[in-house]
Structure 1
């Protein structure tokens, strides 16, 4: 079973026996994932809140690749910066988004990371069709290294954001020349109106996903419970089985035939005495 968390690459330690360099280093992700009990995971290469790319030197990249191989951790996902907006009609924002995404796929190639994950963004009034065209065009402008796959992520669907409907994901895949795949976020899908709170609801939602997008395009799952009800478009994650999706829904989702071999990456909170280690163990307990 492949389950892990979105981990930091910062120099701060998770535990006293964790060996991390005294500076931010991509290789820290491997130590941190193991400390949480994960065997796959996700990272930011730099702060997701600023337009800043990070130079990853050869030594740092080699240390990450060697640590990943020696620890048998993977696959890894790079999550793009939050500022990236593929659907925007604004030329300056499109160029910044393209430059940021090119840096991420280049980093993935250097680090031997399989996936770069990105939200489609918001069309901000340009309309759904134009926004989807914009997103596809920006993705097509990228020079993606061999072995790296771009993932478009499902969204909670608030405002003019795209990705809240499975059709948006399918349309971008169809319109783009890049070979794209999908990251399905359970909390986002639930908040967007796709019920996952019972075995029957999981079966119905995943059947719709297969019909619209296709399970063959599902490369990764962001496994998160939701603090808000289905269809509220509110994006706030909860501990596995402790939110509105709940234990029954999470159990059904994790054990669905279409999900069993898909990497599960947690973005659950650290609160109420629970963190990534607790949530990863809970997922393993729910898997039959």
Structure 2
């Protein structure tokens, strides 16, 4: 059982103003969180004015909501061989890190993307080059997220993450999504499996580079490369695995951000309570 304070929250909406994401987090019982700064389905610049940003910062401070993560647009593809798409991706990343600085948010989370036939090595080199073109403010850290590994998407192997971190001219860190890691073939279903997977991550990437966990169960089997999230403890990873993750001493100070579904009469609030129940259980 961990003696550190549990940091668990959910991805909340900024509809009506970014401050609403903080209010929603309080209502859900979370104490950290994640947002999109704009619709993740389109290329767009965020429209957050200074008054709204200040209100968000004040609410986060008042309710001890920390840390926060901005998740980048789904359109961002750092690995692409297409120069125009990579330029758009870099421009989007530049905007996101600036917004993070304005909101007092620590992290910007990004998927590496897909090499679309260029090959793993070329795709990873493209990602390193793209990230190197982003000027990251001193108080913001970019997190590279683990992937489910379908098609030509990179980031499913811990080695992909390690390569980008090692080759980058920035001090990048990692966000591991438990559903993605499971889909990519890393077993998390038992305490022994969690121990082995974390040991492998530590050996390849380093647990000191793990800044955040997207805590999601999975609707699909181990190594299927299928990315579909389930309620905590109700998916293929299961309650034993989730309990082992949230109680592992190496993860005691790592925040857990939920991207679980809203279905079966359960949403983020239920999942946050479930994580709190599992902690120390």
Same fold (TM over 0.5): yes
Q: Does 1:250 align with 2:242?
A: yes
Q: Does 1:261 align with 2:253?
A: yes
Q: Does 1:7 align with 2:12?
A: yes
Q: Does 1:82 align with 2:74?
A: yes
What are the ranges of 5 or more consecutive residues in structure 2 without an aligned counterpart?
A: 1-5
Give 1:55 shift.
2.8
Q: What corresponds to 1:153 in structure 2?
A: 145
Q: Deviations over 1:198-241 (max 9, x none)?
A: 11111110100000000000000000000000000000000000
Distance 1:125 1:258 in 2: 37
TM-score calculated relative to the size of structure 2: 0.97
Distance 2:19 2:131 in 1: 28
What are the ranges of 5 or more consecutive residues in structure 1 without an aligned counterpart?
A: 11-23
TM-score calculated relative to the size of structure 1: 0.95
Q: What corresponds to 1:138 in structure 2?
A: 130
Q: Does 1:103 align with 2:86?
A: no
Equivalent residues, number? 275
Please show how residues 196-275 of structure 1 align to structure 2 within 5 Å.
Answer: 196-275=188-267
Please show how residues 53-64 of structure 1 align to structure 2 within 5 Å.
Answer: 53-64=45-56
Distance 2:19 2:238 in 1: 34
| Aligned residues: CA RMSD | 0.6
Q: Deviations over 1:101-123 (max 9, x none)?
A: 11100000000000000000000
Distance 1:68 1:267 in 2: 20
| Secondary structure, counterpart of 2:154 in structure 1 | coil
Distance 2:91 2:17 in 1: 22
Q: What corresponds to 1:176 in structure 2?
A: 168
Q: What corresponds to 1:284 in structure 2?
A: 276
Distance 1:54 1:278 in 2: 30
| Secondary structure, counterpart of 2:52 in structure 1 | helix
Q: What corresponds to 2:3 in structure 1?
A: none
Q: What corresponds to 1:35 in structure 2?
A: 27
Mean alpha-carbon deviation: is it higher for 84-93 or for 252-261? 252-261
